[in-house]
Amino acid sequence: MLSQCNATRPLWHCLLDKELHMRIPVRLIPGMYDIFLGKWLDVFPPGQVLVLRNEDYALDMKKNIKAVFTFLGLDPLPEAELDRISKLPRMFEKTEKDKQLGQMLNKTRRILDKFYAPFNRNLAGRLHNDKFLWSS
């Protein structure tokens, strides 16, 4: 469906098409970060955009919060407040039901890797950061 749309319209038009978005049976569009970031960078200079990986945030929430405050030119939060925030429930933690599903199938991982590869290469190049290649 996405390819058919892209045959007649720019990809980013397709990604913003709510009707198409609702018809695609899987959530592929939200992971096409480079397309969306490119549109933001058409409006804002790179120095005004901070891009963080959720994986890094999950590993070291305090470090990432500090990076956001520094980027925004805000005074740092007191360490006690950072501790409090880092202990709050996380929105995207797996539920027990999710955990029972097990790991993603290797076949599914290969399909997703292949689909997202060109977008991730562009994103890694745009951000000068190979972590966005999702190779690990």
pLDDT of residue 37: 95
Vertex 114: Cα angle to 109 and 117 (nearest 5): 110
- Encoded amino acid at 105, one letter: L
Model pLDDT, residue 65: 95
At 135 the pLDDT is 74
pLDDT score recorded for residue 131: 92
Domain boundaries, the chain: 32-133
Query: How confident is the model at residue 136, as a pLDDT?
Result: 59
Q: How far apart are the first and last CA of the chain?
A: 29
The CA distance from 133 to 37, in Å, is 15
Stretches in the chain below the pLDDT threshold 70: 92, 136
Q: Two tokens at 106?
A: 């290797």
pLDDT digits (tens, 9 = 90+) for 69-104: 999 999 999 999 999 998 888 776 777 787 788 888
